[in-house]
Amino acid sequence: MSTPARISAAGFDPERIRRDFPILQQEVNGHPLVYLDNAATTQKPEQVIDAISHYYRHDNANVHRGAHTLSDRSTLAFEQARETTARYINSPKSSQVIWVRGATEAINVVANSWGRSQLKPGDRILVSWLEHHSNIVPWQLIAAATGAEVVPVPVSGAGEIDLAALAELLDERVKLVAINHVSNALGTINPVTEITRMAHAAGARVMIDGAQAVAHLPVDVAAIGCDFYAFSGHKLFGPTGIGVLWGKEDVLEAMPPFLGGGEMIDTVSFSGSTWNTLPFKFEAGTPDIAGAIGLAAAIDYISGIDMAAAAAHELDLLQQSIELGAGIEGLKRIGSPAQSVGIYSFMIDGVHPSDLGMLLDQQGIAVRTGHHCTQPLMSHYGLPGTVRASYSLYNTAADVEQLFAGIRKAKRLFG
């Protein structure tokens, strides 16, 4: 496996980081927890838990319009969280950071606001075979409503987007390319900057699902050049129920609101209403204030870690998995992308993924089994699903050893 600008993980200490995560200090089914389901959600450090608790204990109030001290403090913390998030992804302005419930909602906002106002019969939306359902189904729904068409971009056997095929598909009918930055099923890192350049050259907008990227890679939306970028807080060591839609300012300004209600308005009368400025135009109702504060605490936490070394450490765990897996008869890794994060997706001949997942759980090992919300990709490989071990900065070489010891034990039970 090759990776660009390989950075040494020497000196990176996952054991020190583990001490910040209270949930990891437990046994499951009589065994020390080995948590390898990070692509589904990451665990939360004490610093995030404390930030959320502090908000509810000391500052809890609604934001922006209160005429009292608690509201002022809540508003300040809430908007400082937006500033922190904007810096993390190198947004030119914090007003381009829109709070949503997660990447799924962000994509639906773009589909229903931008898509409903811009798409017409005959237009095309390109999505890859690698996409999570949340970057497929919203486009199918809006295509059905507008007469547009969703067209898949093929991937190779290794699990990489076929850029030549993408180039062939990019014509004047294509209005949007919706692509993930990192595949949740295989770990593939897609060349999103190059894909954005190709799409823009054809006159298309670009929507990037960054849910799997933000905890592993530096994300610079200005450098990528995309029109929209979405991610979820809970995959970035933050709380569930909070996420980000980032968009280019001119594109967001031109989009109509998605939800109506309080906060997103400027004026309301029975003769008509006008809309608030960015980002509030897209933030109807009381937001997840504690979630935004928790997400900012997560960003502050990982900003104190050498994330390049952490990424190298995760790739070391992936390489260890590849080597150990090669020694188990009947085990097949699914996908072998040249550029990848620490996701190891595999099958074992004669063993259903769900059965293996259950036996691993009995040994305290948490993995994900099934189609990983990527049924088109699984159909491409002719599989019902896979077993997925996904690594994070608090995982260790011992965790990988435990995983493969559990696999070998399960394999013996299945004969």
Q: What letters, b where the CB count within 10 A reaches 16 and e where it falls short, cover 222-234?
A: eebebbbbbbbbb
pLDDT mean over 373-383: 94
Alpha-carbon dihedral of residues 260, 249, 301, 395, nearest 10 degrees? Answer: 90
**Is residue 144 predicted with pLDDT exceeding 70?**
yes
The whole-number pLDDT of residue 265 equals 86
Secondary structure (3-state) at 368: strand
Query: For residue range 229-283, what is the model confidence (pLDDT) as tens digits?
Result: 999 999 999 999 999 999 999 999 999 999 999 898 889 899 999 998 999 999 9
Query: For residue range 211-234, what is the model confidence (pLDDT) as tens digits?
Result: 999 999 999 999 999 999 999 999
The whole-number pLDDT of residue 408 equals 96
The whole-number pLDDT of residue 149 equals 98
Query: For residue range 276-311, what is the model confidence (pLDDT) as tens digits?
Result: 899 999 999 999 999 999 999 999 999 999 999 999
Domain range summary for the chain, segments of one domain joined by +: 14-44+307-413, 49-303
- Residue 38: Cβ within 10 Å count: 27
**Is residue 6 predicted with pLDDT exceeding 50?**
no
- The residues, ordered by sequence, that sit 6+ positions from 157 with a Cβ below 8 Å of its Cβ are none
The whole-number pLDDT of residue 196 equals 98
CA distance 20 to 305: 12
The whole-number pLDDT of residue 3 equals 35
Residue whose structure tokens are 């200005």: 222
Helices (H), 240-396: 249-254, 289-303, 307-326, 353-361, 375-381
- The pTM assigned to this predicted structure is 0.96
The whole-number pLDDT of residue 414 equals 83
pLDDT mean over 72-80: 97
Could you give the percent of the chain with pLDDT greater than 90? 93
CA distance 141 to 138: 5
Residue 150 one-letter amino acid: V
pLDDT mean over 21-41: 98
**Is residue 5 predicted with pLDDT exceeding 50?**
no
List, in sequence order, every residue forming a beta bridge with 361; answer none if it has no partner.
none
Strands (E), 42-96: none
CATH code given to domain 49-303 = 3.40.640.10
The whole-number pLDDT of residue 10 equals 64
CA distance 272 to 264: 14
For the annotated catalytic residues, the residue numbers are 373
**Is residue 79 predicted with pLDDT exceeding 90?**
yes
CA distance 249 to 274: 19
Of 384, 363, 372, the C-alpha closest to 344 is 372
Query: For residue range 98-135, what is the model confidence (pLDDT) as tens digits?
Result: 999 999 999 999 999 999 999 999 999 999 999 999 99
CA distance 120 to 101: 28
- Burial (CB < 10 A; 0-12, 13-18, 19+), residue 64, is middle
Asked if residues 197 and 168 have their Cβ atoms less than 8 Å apart, the reply is no
CATH code given to domain 14-44+307-413 = 3.90.1150.10
Residue 397 one-letter amino acid: A
Using only the alpha carbons of the chain, give its radius of gyration: 22
CA distance 282 to 264: 6
Residue 261 one-letter amino acid: G
The whole-chain average pLDDT of the chain stands at 95
CA distance 280 to 403: 46
Helix 289-303, helix 69-88: angle, nearest 10: 50
pLDDT mean over 353-381: 96
CA distance 171 to 202: 6
- Residue 173: Cβ within 10 Å count: 17
Long-range contacts of the stretch 17-26 (C-beta < 8 A, 24+): 17/305, 17/393, 17/394, 18/394, 18/396, 20/45, 20/46, 20/47, 20/301, 20/394, 21/45, 21/46, 21/394, 22/46, 22/49, 24/394
The whole-number pLDDT of residue 334 equals 97
The whole-number pLDDT of residue 65 equals 81
**Is residue 7 predicted with pLDDT exceeding 90?**
no
Kindly indicate the confidence band of residue 9, based on its pLDDT and cuts at 50, 70 and 90.
Answer: low
Distances 229 to 65, 99, 106, 107, 387 between C-alpha atoms, Å: 29, 12, 8, 9, 28
The whole-number pLDDT of residue 266 equals 85
